[in-house]
Amino acid sequence: MKIPDARGPISGGLFRLLADGTGDDSAAQGTLRDLTELVNGQLALADDIIDDGDVQLTLFCLYELHYGGLDGVDDRWEWNPGLIALRQLLEEPFELALRSAARVSAGSVQPAPAAGLDSDAVADILFGLAGQDGGPGMSRHVAKLATLGQLREFLVHKSIYQLKEADPHTWAIPRLTGRAKAALVEIQADEYGGGRPDRMHSALFARTMRGLGLNDVYGGYVDAVPAISLAAVNMMSLFGLNRRLRGAIAGHLAIYEMTSSRPNQLYGNGFRRLGFGADVTAYFDEHVEADAVHEQIAGRDLAGGLVEAEPDLFPDVLFGATAVLAIDARLTAHIMGAWESGTSSLKPPVPAGV
């Protein structure tokens, strides 16, 4: 991914550091100290870290060093101790904000204590959460009312994750054992196309983007999406890259699968309504079938199996699930609010062709 445009002093300082030095360059330590002081100052003034574009873009790019990297940036930066410390400095308040949002999302749900919960009970709790009303119905709007321009915006928002779909959850595989691990591998094998590159879900989504004349290069629209879109992806990386949050990434994937099948059916219908064929709708149609199966595996075998093996992780499984609902509801409200007011949901200036 190319280094995006900075959104403030933190991301600007990070990008200058990454472009000018190497990951083992001792000369960069002074710059890192200055950047850390800047972050401490900015965090002290931040009202809403989830909606802070500078913080979320910085986190996104720090996480990207663990995925495909950044164009022109020395790979040794990935494990530079100063950058890891900087990332942790940003992660702490971000996690606290997610936990606060998750508590609100959980509402009046009072699940049973983790002790004695079997996998079916865990799945029932998660299915109960998934059945709650998550706010404005974007899938219904896409199915019945969305314009071509809104469909393009919808894909741009989703591209920040969907063009590397499954990767954040894959971090959890070596951190799980037994039933939970086997369940995750089974789900991820489907996400990666069962060994067929052209059937990888990320490849299917890229085809959808091409069908609407959009750029299908990963990260091509990072500059166009608001902070909340970046926060939704950063949440996955936070959960996946921290072993202590393996329960949260399991809960995250479980609720993702449980809330996917019907909306994807509606999304596909929306694209068909405007005359698009199977080359564009294949991504959504694939998820209608796959996720109807995955939701049971993820709820009972992944999340439920994990809690049976490690009961103390149940609160984090619940955290991961409720955080998804909270952040997705906030993202949906942002997009729908813009569309209802007749404006773009993207960050200005909106890229040509969107």
* Alpha-carbon span 333 to 339, nearest angstrom: 10
Q: What would the pLDDT profile of 181-216 be if each residue is shown by its tens digit?
A: 999 999 999 999 999 999 999 999 999 999 999 999
CB atoms within 10 A of CB 89: 14
* Alpha-carbon span 340 to 333, nearest angstrom: 10
* Alpha-carbon span 284 to 30, nearest angstrom: 48
CA atoms within a 13 Å half-sphere pointing along the CA-CB vector of 331: 23
pLDDT at residue 28 in the model: 77
Using a pLDDT cut of 90, give the percent of the chain over it.
84
* Alpha-carbon span 83 to 75, nearest angstrom: 12
Q: What is the mean pLDDT of the chain?
A: 93
pLDDT band at 350 (very low <50, low <70, confident <90, very high): confident
**CB-based contact 41:62 (threshold 8 Å):** no
CB atoms within 10 A of CB 202: 22
Torsion sign, CA atoms 145, 150, 154, 159: positive
Q: What is the mean pLDDT of residues 131-142?
A: 79
Short-list 97, 94, 82, CA closest to 26: 82
Which residues have a Cβ under 8 Å from the Cβ of 100 and sit 6 or more positions away?
Answer: none
Higher confidence at residue 137 or residue 270? 270
Token pair in block for residue 279: 């080359």
* Alpha-carbon span 9 to 147, nearest angstrom: 37
Q: What is the mean pLDDT of residues 331-343?
A: 96
CA atoms within a 13 Å half-sphere pointing along the CA-CB vector of 111: 25
Q: What would the pLDDT profile of 158-172 be if each residue is shown by its tens digit?
A: 999 999 999 999 999
Q: What value does the CA radius of gyration of the chain take, rounded to a whole number of Å?
A: 20
Residue 149 predicted with pLDDT over 70: yes
Distance of CA 155 to the CA centre of its chain: 14
At residue 65, what are phi and psi to the nearest 5 degrees? -60, -25
CA angle, residues 279, 286, 173, in degrees to nearest 5: 125
Distance of CA 108 to the CA centre of its chain: 25
* Alpha-carbon span 157 to 165, nearest angstrom: 13
* Alpha-carbon span 120 to 301, nearest angstrom: 9
Q: What is the mean pLDDT of residues 330-348?
A: 96
Residue 67 predicted with pLDDT over 60: yes
Token pair in block for residue 150: 């809104």
Residue 135 predicted with pLDDT over 60: no
Instruction: Give the total residue count for the chain.
Output: 354
Q: What would the pLDDT profile of 258-280 be if each residue is shown by its tens digit?
A: 999 899 999 999 999 999 999 99
Q: DSSP secondary structure string, 154-189?
A: HHHHHHHHHTTTTHHHHTTGGG--HHHHHHHHHHHH
Short-list 333, 284, 279, 303, CA closest to 130: 303
